[in-house]
Structure 1
Amino acid sequence: MVYNKIGQSGLYVSRICLGTMAFGGLCDEKESFRIMDEAVEKGITFFDTANVYGRGASEEIIGKWFAQGGGRREKVVLITKFMFPVGDELDGANNRPGLSAWKIRRNLDASLRRLQTDHVEIFMMHRVDRTVSWRELWPAFQAAQFQGKLDYVASSAFSATDLCTAQFEAEKRGMMGLICDQGRYNLVTRQPELEVIPALRRLGMGMLVFSPLGGGHLSGHAMDNPGPRSKGRKLHDYQIEQLTKFKAFAEKMGVPEAIIAQAWLLQNPDVSAILSGPRTSEMLDDTIKALDVTFTEEQIKELETIFPSHGMNKQGTLVTEHVEATDAYNW
């Protein structure tokens, strides 16, 4: 397994992060335990969950797995997220989607109970809430850090502007700010290349990637045998053309499409880690295999031709003038 630091922090994580959205839903407790055991055995020590996954079931399953001992908790760098309410355990007018100091304290404590641990390495805002001031949020996060309940703060699906604002406000308080942002990025979702990735690079933040297969679109089965996330999705003519070319590319390489899609991300220096959300341990194995795939310059160019970036011109050359225009932090 390959390990690297997230952004400018000193925290090392495995390049593959185990996503646990399926735990408690598409994946029962027994199979979830099997996946986590295999992940750690193969060097994947970075786990991602959220309070809403399985309405708390994902966190509870991870907590039961930790409780088995054997150094399980000590080996894992753990992310959990908050933003959306879970059940009625935090009932009342404040128990609604959004961010606040109240939600940071209450949701963090509830997640720690379900996870059967006294801390998380990374506490992540599941989405931005522009109705709340950072004057409220940063002191609340800092208090939780002082209490030893979390090590780092992170975000998910923030815009470049929101990332810059968060870091500016943190720096005013002498804080590190956000360690990373978690966003959707893959061969067919290239929008982050326009503003978010340049902002992360300039701010010294890491990038965690979810949906590396585009919700099953790049799995190799979208046209003939779609999985639960892509079933019923109508493919446009241009998408069918892309996937047909992608299939031929994979056959020429002798590597399945799903592995190629993940390998493309793993070889991007801006990507700190990719999330694998397996329903079986066999699906996890495919992600691990992506670490061993390398591309020639010609193969990268062919992939970029099949799935062009929003910043690509008709000749397949990356246009960088507007891509590097995210200077909002240079205030």
Structure 2
Amino acid sequence: MEYTQLGRTGLKVSRIVLGTMNFGPQTDEADSHAIMDAALAAGVNFFDTANVYGWGENKGRTEEIVGSWFAQGGGRRDKTVLATKVYGNMGADGEVWPNHDRLSALNIRRAVDASLKRLNTDHIDLYQFHHVDRHTPWDEIWQAIDVLVQQGKVLYAGSSNHAGWHIAQANEAAARRGSLGLVSEQCLYNLAERRAEMEVIPAAESYGLGVIPWSPLHGGLLGGAVRKEREGGGGARTNGGRSAGALANSAIRAQIEAYEDLLDKHGLQPGEVALAWLLTRPGVTGPIVGPRTSEQLDSALRAVELELSEELLSALEEIFPATGPSPEAFAW
């Protein structure tokens, strides 16, 4: 396994991030534990979750599964850089009640204690804001985080789904307080979705944030969707995910067919190339992979060792052209 610093911090993390979103909803506790054991054995030390994972009436379940894995001991918690998130409503029994969501100081205090209990730990290494809160000022958010850092409950703060100007706002506000500010941004970024390159990634690089791409296979679209469809296994996820039905678009289908044909010529697997491509991108710490099975984890691990030739990278650029950074993409 390869490791890198998380943004401008001294924290070393693996270049593959184990996403746990499927633990509970699609992967039972025993299999989830087995996947985490296999990931740790392979050197993956960066695990990502969120308080809402498990979803619906089972929200919080994923954190509980991670917590029960930590409870087995064997140095599991000590070896893991643990990231979770706050923002979504965590009211009991589906109840929507004021101050049980978003990023008020009250909800952050409540949410972190609940996550710590579910995760069976005394601290969270990276506490991420799952979404932008347009109604809470950054000074209030940083006040809450500063208290948690002083208490030892949180070590670092990160963002997710934030625009470039939100990152700038956040870290300028933190700087005024003498706080560390955001050290990472978790954003939608892959070969088929490159808008983050316009402003989010330049902002992250400028402020020293590590970039953690989510949905690196774009909901399965970059994981051999056309091939699987032809073999009768279904194309991109048909469970209502981001890319459900994408292959019905003739332009997208042609693009994915060109992608898969190119990789067939090189004898490479589409999903592994999609991950390996992200590892070549400036500012990227590591993509989040969300395996439902041990076999999917093995495929993701192979991507770390995959070296893409300049010829292949150029060909990929032709199929999935970049929009370009801001302001050039808008002006010239």
* Count of equivalent residues: 318
Tell whether 2:95 aligns with 1:78: no
Between the aligned partners of 1:183 and 1:195, the Cα distance in structure 2 is 12
Structure number with the higher helix fraction is 2
Between the aligned partners of 2:49 and 2:107, the Cα distance in structure 1 is 17
CA shift in 2, pair 1:177/1:324, >3 Å: farther
Q: How far is the alpha carbon of 1:303 from its aligned partner? A: 0.2
Structure 1 gaps of 5+ residues are 312-318, 326-331
Q: How far is the alpha carbon of 1:204 from its aligned partner? A: 1.2
2:16 — aligned with what?
16
Between the aligned partners of 1:114 and 1:323, the Cα distance in structure 2 is 44
CA shift in 2, pair 1:268/1:92, >3 Å: closer
2:36 — aligned with what?
36
Between the aligned partners of 2:201 and 2:177, the Cα distance in structure 1 is 25
Between the aligned partners of 1:270 and 1:91, the Cα distance in structure 2 is 40
Between the aligned partners of 2:278 and 2:247, the Cα distance in structure 1 is 25
Segments ≥4 residues shifted beyond 6 Å: 89-92
Mapping for residues 265-304 of structure 1, pairs under 5 Å: 265-304=278-317
Q: Which shows bigger deviation, 121-130 or 78-87?
A: 78-87
Between the aligned partners of 2:328 and 2:10, the Cα distance in structure 1 is 31
Letter of the 1:28 counterpart: D
Identity of matched residues, %: 43
CA shift in 2, pair 1:241/1:84, >3 Å: same
- Which of 260, 269, 273 aligns to 2:273? It is 260
Q: How far is the alpha carbon of 1:149 from its aligned partner? A: 0.2
SS at match of 2:180: coil
Tell whether 2:128 aligns with 1:124: yes
CA shift in 2, pair 1:171/1:33, >3 Å: same
Q: How far is the alpha carbon of 1:324 from its aligned partner? A: 11
Structure 2 gaps of 5+ residues are none
Letter of the 2:144 counterpart: A
1:215 — aligned with what?
219
Tell whether 2:147 aligns with 1:143: yes
1:329 — aligned with what?
none
Letter of the 2:73 counterpart: G
Letter of the 2:287 counterpart: I
Q: How far is the alpha carbon of 1:89 from its aligned partner? A: 8.0
Between the aligned partners of 1:167 and 1:90, the Cα distance in structure 2 is 34
SS at match of 1:25: coil
Deviations 1:99-118 (A, max 9, x none): 10001100000000000101
Q: Which shows bigger deviation, 289-298 or 133-142?
A: 289-298
CA shift in 2, pair 1:266/1:247, >3 Å: same
Q: How far is the alpha carbon of 1:321 from its aligned partner? A: 6.0
